[in-house]
Amino acid sequence: MAGHFGGGPSELMRKVVIHKPGGYERLTLETHTVPIPSDRQVLIRTEAAGVNYADVCVRWGVYESARRFVGWPITPGFEYAGRVAEVGREVRHLKPGDPVFGLTFFNGYSTHVCAPADLVWPKPDALDFEAAAGFLAVHLTAYHGLLQNVVIRPGMSVLVHSAGGGVGSALVQLCKLHDLQVTGVVGSDHKVEYVRQLGADAVIDKSRQSLWDEARRLCPGGYDLVFDANGPETLAQSYAHLKATGKLLVYGFHTLLPKRGGRINFLKAAVGLVTMPRFNPLSMTTENKGVVAFNLSFLFDRADLLHPAVNDLITWVQAGGIAVPKVRSFALADVAHAHRALESGKTTGKLILRTLPPPCMAGVPARGD
């Protein structure tokens, strides 16, 4: 029989719903019926949900997996933490009341998430619910990029763009955990000390320093790995600053889209597409360099990759090898404020939404639009 904890199928839940692409005004709180888990699913009463830049792209209507597999309306959010409310008949590793965190293919901005059981894990004691809600997406992105796409060796030199952000913070820590030499790039001086505290061997503040002059000074022979989610602003030079056998790892295109304002600047996006570097396989072969690109949302059916990654990450965070992420939290009703803060480029660490009450008002725009 399915287990149950805290509510029933007739219970109502709150979630953020986007009915069509646009600005912050598209983020709407609605009331829906709590779903019933199937035999291999788990229903979680969430306490918090992670906020990622991908969620902003979902709101703009430009996130490929959202367009391909969901469409409109859509509830953004890939990660959460909370307590198990109900388990399907075939679920054995969890029971009602268990504190958990996990992944969901969208639908994370909600007081309740119904997720496949194999994407739900017991919450590590080292993480409170807010930290756990913002842990998996960025750390799995960093893990997959560093440990499942390239072969690393101690002493390799790594350049990490946006080192003060969620994925960048995770990359810096994972690199140091594996004895790599890390240079972090940040966009403002208040992030420098934060990235140093994460363990970076050097930090380039591109608001005060010439990024590529400093990158060359710090590593004259070029970098073994460069992690770049900026897009056309830096990709060409990131590739140029690789040493022979180096790899450029691409997992986003932030400068292709606006960082603030709530809406896409389509002229800027068009210019970005035109200026996007094209990597020629013949040139890459003769230069002995490579480009690797990936998107975590297309890996949610790859348990063979996700499970060993999560197991390692849990082990490291429990042992103190990975510091608890710096978290800034917003109420679910303030989701627009969270998106605005993320688009500003001024945040460090991770943003999360608190999904516990107060009671909702169905169909009203989230505050801050």
Q: What is the pLDDT of residues 227-242, one digit of tens each?
A: 999 999 999 999 999 9
Q: Are strands 181-186 and 202-205 parallel, antiparallel or unpaired?
A: parallel
- Predicted pLDDT of residue 258: 66
- Topology annotation, domain 150-293: Rossmann fold (3.40.50)
- CB-neighbour burial class of residue 151 (10 A; exposed 0-12, middle 13-18, buried 19+): exposed
Other C-beta atoms within 10 Å of 67: how many?
14
The contacts of residue 129 (CB under 8 Å, 6+ apart) are 47, 48, 81, 82, 99, 123
Instruction: Give, in words, the CATH class of 12-137+306-365.
Output: alpha beta
User: According to the model, what pLDDT value does residue 202 have?
Assistant: 98
Beta strands in the chain, from DSSP E residues, in sequence order:
12-17, 28-33, 41-51, 79-87, 99-103, 112-116, 120-122, 157-160, 181-186, 202-205, 223-228, 242-250, 290-293, 327-331, 350-354, 364-365
Identify the weakest region by mean pLDDT among 74-83, 297-306, 354-363.
354-363
What is the model's pLDDT at position 102?
98
How much is the average pLDDT of 90-101? Answer: 97
What are the pLDDT digits (tens) for 47-65? 999 999 999 999 999 999 9
Tokens encoding 215: 């990158």
Give the residue extent of every domain in the chain: 12-137+306-365, 150-293
Instruction: Please report the sign of the dihedral spanned by the C-alpha atoms of residue 36, residue 42, residue 45, residue 51.
Output: negative
pLDDT tens-digit profile of 96-105?
A: 999 999 999 9
pLDDT of residue 10: 61
Block residue for tokens 């005060």: 208
pTM of the model: 0.91
What local confidence, expressed as pLDDT, does residue 360 receive? Answer: 44
Q: Which two tokens stand for residue 63?
A: 């996130």
Neighbours of 362 (CB within 10 A): 11
Instruction: Read off the pLDDT of residues 108-117 as tens digits, 9 standing for 90 and up.
Output: 999 999 999 9
Supply the pLDDT for residue 361. Answer: 41
DSSP class of residue 258 equals: -
